């Protein structure tokens, strides 16, 4: 497995090998699926749209609807104006969404299509909406695309009546519906009235009923997005994926925002609960305190199996920063932390985290890839790998247990339903990590050292 | 109103006029269908692009070369490990299939051009991997910003003395994956096939248009080797560039996927005199027929006897299992929506199990795949296809050799209809069947409701749509991570997977008990107010 990867690390400036990111539009498509009755639309050639729908279907094991402008070579010369005009008519005629959320690809961005101009010129049926976000694939990553589309919804829909509605706008970041469900549960327990944007619960974890629904029950309602301008404040979970939307709302309607780490682990969840408590001016209910105490209890009970273990992490910056913090809280070592998303802020946040916990010799790198991660591991091995499915090749090559977390996880079931955020998500993560480490101990020890009770 | 009209009727006049030519109810043995046309925007169809057809399909399975995607990150990422073209490295070679190579273009590369980064990327690849060849695949923006890939490829050849070929497979070219097949075929015939000499040691064949999904090619090779054939190359499943270089030394080309590789089959015939046959190793009866067609071509009594002996043994081996699965599947009804060849091939395998096909559709096949090759002269290419190069090739003296002269082939064609010919999907379908070209989501849903099949074979984008509706969907691109489905052993695997899917107990839990049975129990209270409510 990966036999051609040498141990010797040579500096690379041009070639990316086994990336740890993908391109913007899929993030935008995911965000748009989190809006009720919305059709994500890809303004480019149709291959992008098919690839993006496919990776979402493979991760969630659910349908992922989206349409395309289906550029031909002619459209590249003359622009995609007539393509999107035709598309919008057909989409409303045939699929009848309430809103079409358009994103772009490297094709339409390179030729410089003026989407706003195109959309303004389209005759949109009464009560229907078409909005857009520019998502050039040659900038940032799928996380950037998610952030841009969330901002696109706010820029395109949100209004203000001038009267505050007492609600909090919550942008959950590029996470699974299981995570969004958990954040919503905490918001409700904390007595916070909120709108979550986007919200893929009930969309990409929809039940089997024997009847296919193109627009499932879930998703943020358009009316709620319109009313975001009247919110008291915005909570952006994960600055990389969520701050763009929060900042758009601040710019438009002076809704102040706080950007928190994604609430993975104990400290980041504490910060979330404190923030919610400040907002609702309510005591933290016992139910939440009990969960927190259970988590700490488990951490203490099982520490001997994870303490000091070295972990290599890869994936998206918000998850990596928060997960690294959780590992440090456990007394584990996030030895290598690799993201493909280019961002100097990531390097800074990770450096601050290493300093806060006083660990040395850990390497965090933005704009890197899994080839480099593998080479680092070949030079100094780790005990555990954490990230999406693409890391399974390294796990096999180097015989390291793998805990799947993040996007995409293409080779396992159930995971999108289960949280990694909040105290409960932390318990689940700890169970997955302990399971991987302890299974490995059971597999590797001599017969005479094989333990019944652990 | 016909089945087709009742579905298309909801379209606007403009869309109706277009789709009407692509969706037909079969009235004769062969009816004209429109195909290989521009996609209508906004229809939610299932097509991919030219890059997917070139890099993802034809070149992707090559295991011993570096396949470099020149573009932003997505295209390389999505075509990394997602198509199940299995490969085992040859002795001394590495397996590049586990890797994704991309120039990961950024904004400044789009503005100032990507050639500089491409050159640097190739220098780094050579420094780290020393590959025997580098193939560069273009993506959408590369064509727009004007990067000169052939010039870079020439430079690399001179600088490092290794094969370097660029493929102008920008996603917007043509109307589907199909254009990418053609582009890949052109470059393989121009620069790879025929560049290495070899002398076969037995009756020899190439398997063309076989990508070893789930190990299909290995099952085909297993059978062929048992009979005594030498397989010179497989294009391109588990493929090696060195094997393809000597492909011209084979006596017969077996064309499994007509759509993606017929260009090479035709050009090899002209250049090297290699005859071809439309083979089909999907389905027991089809596999047997293909093996007999091959024996007829070689006309060697010993080979013919060995062919029959192997067929008899193989059939005996799978008899019991095939009978069991047939007993579970006979009478079921199916629909098939696949890319450019499987919608036909798998109907034949379904017949082996007594499953009837109600509907079949392709994403990107051409009219000849539906109606047979005899319609080719009447196909008029439209503006969207005019920029896909059509190569004019000539006989190569010294390398040209015919195993059987053309007069004998023409004579044999009367018996062996698949010899240098493909009659298409339609002749194998019943009258009244629905055939859909470039199917979309709406049509899928409507025909699903109308025809109520037991099973709908398709791909990942509609698998979960279909299953949410309570109907089994098995993927015929990825085989749902199973396989092989080709050949004799593959047929058994297929029967097992379909049976398992139809009979899994979970289908029985779709409706919650409280939806059909009341759980509210109450007693009628006697009125205490004199009967007034």
pLDDT digits (tens, 9 = 90+) for A178-218: 999 999 999 999 999 999 999 999 999 999 999 999 999 99
Instruction: Region of B528 please: left (phi>0), alpha (psi -120 to 50) or beta.
Output: alpha
What are A100's strand-pairing partners? A39, A130
pLDDT average, residue stretch B232-253:
98
pLDDT average, residue stretch B113-135:
97
Q: What percent of chain B has pLDDT over 90?
A: 94
Residues B480 and B463: their CA atoms lie apart, in Å, by: 10
B16-37 pLDDT, tens digit per residue, is 999 999 999 999 999 999 999 9
pLDDT average, residue stretch B91-103:
92
pLDDT at B531 over 80: no
Radius of gyration of chain A (CA): 22
H-state helical runs in B161-257:
177-191, 216-227, 241-245
Q: Which two tokens stand for residue B234?
A: 């497989």
Of the partner residues B50, B73, B468, the one whose CB lies closest to the CB of residue A21: B73
Contact A129, A222 (CB under 8 A): yes
In the prediction, which pLDDT does B532 show? 54
Question: Catalytic: B83?
Answer: yes
DSSP state of B334: E
Sort out which chain A residues have CB atoms less than 8 A from B48's CB and list them: 46-47, 50-51
Mutate to test the interface with B, among A30, A50, A134 (most CBs of B within 10 A): A50
Q: Which of residues 78-117 of B touch A (CB under 8 A)?
A: 78-82, 89, 94-96, 98-107, 109-110, 117
Is B41 in contact with A19 (Cβ distance < 8 A)?
A: no
pLDDT at B1 over 90: no
Contact A111, B145 (CB under 8 A): no
Q: Which two tokens stand for residue B450?
A: 């109308």
How sure is the predictor about B526, in pLDDT bands with cuts at 50, 70 and 90?
Answer: low
Sort out which chain B residues have CB atoms less than 8 A from A74's CB and list them: 383-384
Nearest to A238 by CA among A336, A341, A310, A153: A341
A225-282 pLDDT, tens digit per residue, is 999 999 999 999 999 999 999 999 999 999 999 999 999 999 999 999 999 999 999 9
Range in A162-176, B21-35, B57-71, B513-527 with the lowest mean pLDDT:
B513-527
Return the SS3 of A358.
Answer: coil
**Cα(first)–Cα(last) distance of chain B, in Å?**
52
Q: How many residues does chain B have?
A: 533
Q: Which two tokens stand for residue B501?
A: 């899917």
Three-state secondary structure string covering A264-323:
CCHHHHHHHHHHHHHHHCCCCCHHHHHHHHHHHHHHHHHHHHHCCCEEEEEECHHHHHHH
In the prediction, which pLDDT does B533 show? 47
In a 13 Å sphere around the CA of A197, the CA atoms on its Cβ side amount to: 34
DSSP state of A154: H
Q: What percent of chain A has pLDDT over 90?
A: 100
Residues B167 and B190: their CA atoms lie apart, in Å, by: 12
Q: Which two tokens stand for residue B509?
A: 């839990």
CB contact, 8 Å: B364 with chain A?
A: no
Residues B481 and B49: their CA atoms lie apart, in Å, by: 23
A25-74 pLDDT, tens digit per residue, is 999 999 999 999 999 999 999 999 999 999 999 999 999 999 999 999 99
pLDDT average, residue stretch B51-55:
98
CA–CA distances in Å: residue B522 to residues B186, B527, B533? 77, 15, 17
The strands making up A67-68's β-sheet, listed across from edge to edge, are: A67-68, A38-43, A99-104, A129-133
Cβ-Cβ contacts under 8 Å between A and B: the total is 248
Reported as type and span, the H/E element at residue A132 is strand A129-133
Q: Which two tokens stand for residue A129?
A: 């909406």
Sort out which chain A residues have CB atoms less than 8 A from B145's CB and list them: 110
Question: Catalytic: B100?
Answer: no
pLDDT at A445 over 60: yes
Look up the ipTM and state it: 0.97
Q: Which two tokens stand for residue A281?
A: 């001016």
Residues A102 and A83: their CA atoms lie apart, in Å, by: 12
DSSP per residue over A63-99, as a string?
Answer: ----EE----HHHHHH-SHHHHHHHHHHHHHHT--SE
Q: Identify the residue whose tokens are 């009125």.
A: B527
B169-201 pLDDT, tens digit per residue, is 999 999 999 999 999 999 999 999 999 999 999
Nearest CA to CA, how far is A302 from chain B (Å)? 36
Question: Catalytic: B248?
Answer: no
Q: Is the peptide bond before A59 cis (omega within 30 degrees of 0)?
A: no
CB contact, 8 Å: B46 with chain A?
A: yes
Q: Identify the residue whose tokens are 């091959």.
A: B294
In a 13 Å sphere around the CA of B161, the CA atoms on its Cβ side amount to: 0
Q: Give the active site residue among B49, B184, B217, B334.
A: B49
pLDDT average, residue stretch B119-138:
98
Mention every residue, 6+ apart, whose C-beta is less than 8 A from residue B402: B273, B275
Contact B155, B118 (CB under 8 A): no
Phi and psi (nearest 5°) for A236? -100, 115
What are B475's strand-pairing partners? B458
Sort out which chain B residues have CB atoms less than 8 A from A64's CB and list them: 461
B274-317 pLDDT, tens digit per residue, is 999 999 999 999 999 999 999 999 999 999 999 999 999 999 99
Residues B234 and B240: their CA atoms lie apart, in Å, by: 8
Q: Which two tokens stand for residue A408?
A: 């995409």
In the prediction, which pLDDT does B93 show? 84
Residues B285 and B60: their CA atoms lie apart, in Å, by: 30
Nearest CA to CA, how far is B169 from chain A (Å)? 12
Is A50 in contact with B469 (Cβ distance < 8 A)?
A: no
In the prediction, which pLDDT does B528 show? 58
Reported as type and span, the H/E element at residue B101 is strand B101-102
Burial B16-49 (b: 16+ CB within 10 A, else e): eebbeebbbebeeebeebbbbbbbbbbbbbbbbb
Q: Give the active site residue among B19, B181, B182, B344.
A: B181
Sort out which chain A residues have CB atoms less than 8 A from B45's CB and list them: 46, 70
Q: What percent of chain A has pLDDT over 70?
A: 100
Sort out which chain A residues have CB atoms less than 8 A from B99's CB and list them: 2, 4, 17-18, 371
Contact A25, B426 (CB under 8 A): no
How sure is the predictor about B518, in pLDDT bands with cuts at 50, 70 and 90?
Answer: confident
Mention every residue, 6+ apart, whose C-beta is less than 8 A from residue A94: B10, B11, B15, B42, B43, B442
In the prediction, which pLDDT does B525 show? 67
Average model confidence (pLDDT) for chain B?
Answer: 96
Residues B457 and A156: their CA atoms lie apart, in Å, by: 40
Estimate the share of chain A in helix, then strand, then coil, as percent rounded to the nearest 5. Answer: 50, 15, 35
Question: Catalytic: B52?
Answer: yes
In the prediction, which pLDDT does A21 show? 98
In the prediction, which pLDDT does B332 show? 98
In the prediction, which pLDDT does A423 show? 98
Radius of gyration of chain B (CA): 26
In a 13 Å sphere around the CA of A271, the CA atoms on its Cβ side amount to: 18
pLDDT average, residue stretch A415-422:
98
CA–CA distances in Å: residue A92 to residues A68, A100, A130? 13, 9, 10
DSSP per residue over A372-413, as a string?
Answer: HHHHHHHHS--SEEEE-GGGHHHHHHHT--EEE-SS---S-S
Q: Which residue of A has its CA nearest to B77?
A: A22
In the prediction, which pLDDT does A93 show? 98
Burial A283-296 (b: 16+ CB within 10 A, else e): ebeeebeebbeebe
In the prediction, which pLDDT does B94 show? 83
Is B460 in contact with A58 (Cβ distance < 8 A)?
A: yes
Mention every residue, 6+ apart, whose C-beta is less than 8 A from residue B150: B166
Burial A113-139 (b: 16+ CB within 10 A, else e): bebeebbeebeeeeebbbbbbbbbbbb
pLDDT at B120 over 90: yes
Residues B311 and B488: their CA atoms lie apart, in Å, by: 9
């Amino acid at each position: 497995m990966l036999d051609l990867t040498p141990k010797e690390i040579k500096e690379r400036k041009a070639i990316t090998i086994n990336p740890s990111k993908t391109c913007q539009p899929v993030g935008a498509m995911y965000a748009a699926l989190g809006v009720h009755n919305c059709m994500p639309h890809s303004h480019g050639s149709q291959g992008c749209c098919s690839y993006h729908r496919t990776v979402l279907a493979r991760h969630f094991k659910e349908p992922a609807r989206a349409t395309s402008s289906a550029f031909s070579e002619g459209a590249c010369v003359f622009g995609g104006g007539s393509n999107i005009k035709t598309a919008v008519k057909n989409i409303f005629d045939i699929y009848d969404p309430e809103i079409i959320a358009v994103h772009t690809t490297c094709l339409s961005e390179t030729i410089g299509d003026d989407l706003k101009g195109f959309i303004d010129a389209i005759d949109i049926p009464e009560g229907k909406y078409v909005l857009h976000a520019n998502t050039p694939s040659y900038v940032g990553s799928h996380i950037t695309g998610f952030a841009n589309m969330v901002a696109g919804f706010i820029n395109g829909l949100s209004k203000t009546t001038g009267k505050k509605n007492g609600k909090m706008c919550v942008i959950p970041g590029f996470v699974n519906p299981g995570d969004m469900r958990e954040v919503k549960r905490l918001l409700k327990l904390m007595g916070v009235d909120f709108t979550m944007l986007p919200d893929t619960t009930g969309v990409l974890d929809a039940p089997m009923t024997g009847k296919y629904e193109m627009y499932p029950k879930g998703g943020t309602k358009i009316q709620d997005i319109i009313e975001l301008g009247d919110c008291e404040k915005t909570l952006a979970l994960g600055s990389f994926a969520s701050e763009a939307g929060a900042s758009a709302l601040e710019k438009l309607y002076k809704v102040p925002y706080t950007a928190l780490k994604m609430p993975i682990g104990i400290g980041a969840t504490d910060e979330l609960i404190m923030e919610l408590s400040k907002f609702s001016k309510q005591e933290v209910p016992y139910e939440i305190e009990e969960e927190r105490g259970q988590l700490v209890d488990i951490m203490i009970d099982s520490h001997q199996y994870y303490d000091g273990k070295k972990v290599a992490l890869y994936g998206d910056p918000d998850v990596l920063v928060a997960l690294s913090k959780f590992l440090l809280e456990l007394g584990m070592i996030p030895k290598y932390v690799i993201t493909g998303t280019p961002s100097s802020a990531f390097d800074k946040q990770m450096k601050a985290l290493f300093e806060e916990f006083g660990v040395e010799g850990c390497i965090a790198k933005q704009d890197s890839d899994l080839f480099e991660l593998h080479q680092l591991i070949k030079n100094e091995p780790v005990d555990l790998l954490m990230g999406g499915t693409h890391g399974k090749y390294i796990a096999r090559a180097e015989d390291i247990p793998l805990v799947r977390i993040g996007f995409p996880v293409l080779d396992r079931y159930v995971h999108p339903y289960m949280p990694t955020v909040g105290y409960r998500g932390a318990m689940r993560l700890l169970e997955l990590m302990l399971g991987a480490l302890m299974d490995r101990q059971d597999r590797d020890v001599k017969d005479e050292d094989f333990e019944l009770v652990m | 109103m016909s089945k087709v009209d009742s579905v298309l009727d909801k379209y606007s006049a403009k869309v109706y006029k277009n789709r009407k030519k692509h969706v037909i109810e079969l009235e004769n043995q062969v009816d004209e269908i429109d195909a290989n046309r521009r996609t209508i925007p906004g229809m939610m169809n299932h097509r991919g692009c030219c890059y997917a057809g070139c890099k993802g399909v034809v070149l992707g399975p090559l295991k011993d070369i570096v396949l470099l995607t020149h573009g932003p990150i997505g295209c390389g990422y999505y075509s990394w490990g997602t198509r199940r073209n299995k490969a085992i490295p040859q002795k001394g070679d590495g397996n590049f299939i586990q890797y994704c190579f991309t120039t990961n273009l950024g904004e400044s590369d789009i503005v100032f051009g990507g050639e500089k980064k491409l050159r640097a990327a190739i220098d780094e690849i050579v420094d780290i991997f020393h590959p025997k060849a580098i193939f560069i695949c273009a993506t959408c923006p590369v064509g727009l910003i004007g990067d000169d890939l052939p010039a870079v490829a020439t430079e690399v050849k001179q600088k490092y003395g290794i094969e370097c070929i660029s493929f102008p497979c920008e996603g917007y070219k043509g109307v589907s994956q199909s254009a990418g097949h053609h582009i890949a075929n052109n470059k393989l015939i121009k620069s790879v096939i025929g560049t290495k000499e070899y002398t076969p040691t037995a009756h020899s064949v190439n398997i063309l248009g076989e990508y070893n999904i789930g190990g299909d090619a290995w099952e085909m090779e297993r059978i062929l080797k048992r009979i005594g054939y030498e397989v010179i190359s497989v294009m391109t499943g588990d493929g090696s560039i060195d094997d393809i270089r000597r492909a011209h030394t084979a006596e017969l080309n077996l064309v499994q996927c007509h759509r993606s590789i017929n260009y090479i089959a035709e050009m090899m015939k002209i250049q090297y005199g290699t005859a071809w046959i439309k083979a089909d190793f999907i389905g027991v009866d089809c596999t047997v027929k293909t093996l007999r067609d091959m024996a007829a071509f070689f006309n060697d009594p010993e080979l013919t006897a060995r062919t029959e002996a192997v067929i008899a043994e193989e059939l005996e081996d799978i008899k019991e299992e095939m009978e069991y699965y047939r007993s579970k599947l006979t009478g079921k009804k199916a629909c098939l929506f696949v890319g450019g060849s499987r919608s036909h091939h798998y109907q034949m395998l379904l017949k082996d199990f007594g499953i009837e096909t109600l509907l079949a559709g392709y994403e990107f096949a051409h009219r000849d795949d539906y109606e047979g090759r005899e319609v080719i002269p009447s196909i008029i290419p439209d503006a969207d296809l005019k920029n896909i190069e059509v190569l004019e090739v000539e006989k190569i003296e010294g390398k040209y050799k015919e195993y059987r002269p053309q007069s004998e082939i023409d004579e044999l064609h009367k018996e062996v209809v698949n010899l240098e010919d493909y009659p298409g999907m339609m002749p194998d379908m019943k009258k009244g069947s629905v055939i859909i070209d470039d199917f979309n989501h709406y049509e899928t849903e409507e025909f699903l409701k109308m025809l109520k099949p037991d099973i709908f074979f398709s791909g990942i984008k509609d698998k979960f749509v279909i299953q949410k509706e309570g109907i089994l969907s098995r993927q015929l691109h990825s085989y749902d991570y199973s396989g092989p489905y080709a050949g004799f052993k593959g047929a058994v695997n297929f029967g097992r997977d379909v049976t398992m899917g139809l009979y899994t107990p979970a289908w029985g839990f779709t409706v919650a008990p409280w939806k059909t049975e009341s759980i509210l129990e109450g007693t009628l209270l006697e009125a205490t107010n004199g009967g007034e409510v």
